Amino acid sequence: MVRILAATDFSEEAKPVLDFTADLVKKCGGKMYLLHAVEPCMMDAAGCMAADDMLGGFSTMPPMECADQTTTVLAMADRRAHLLAEQISSEWGIPIYGKAEEADDIVDCVHDFCSRHHIDILVIGNRHHSLLSSLLLGNTAEKLVRAAKIPVTVVPCGPKVNA
């Protein structure tokens, strides 16, 4: 049974990654995995964010104190990953495991997940950042490909894809 991981940031721009992965699993059989890596800066920033603003308005939780918000960002992201996995599973009729994990380094987090879950193929998105942002910030997709020990499929994402 082939195991295919779709790495996602929950954005609408990343939907092509999820659709491509679900279609691939549907065609070849196996199981889809969905991973969202939560960086510590997101959890730290939660102390300054309203509960409705965290994770793109996903929160249905009542207002909380800042300290409570910070500790629940990972739990909220994990819940969102599970719900998204259930939605994709229902839509495509395939088995999916959804998970959010804390990531000091996104690349290490994704590759550690692949190792722990015996992932055969990693599917990621590439947003076509500007040259300046790629030079200043780096490109996570490129770093994931360079560090990969398994095949990686890069799916074009973002506004330029449909243009």
pLDDT in tens, 109-149: 999 999 999 999 999 988 655 544 444 445 788 888 889 99
Domain assignment present for residue 32? The answer is: yes
Q: Containing domain of residue 86, as a range? A: 3-156
**Residue 24 belongs to a domain:** yes
CB atoms within 10 A of CB 17: 24
63 within 8 A of 35, measured Cβ to Cβ: no
CB contact burial 111-126 (16+ within 10 A = b; e otherwise): bebbeeeebebbbbbb
Is 80 a member of any domain? yes
For residue 102, give the H/E element and its range.
Answer: strand 96-102
Q: Would you state the pLDDT for residue 72?
A: 77
Task: Tell me how many domains the chain contains.
Answer: 1
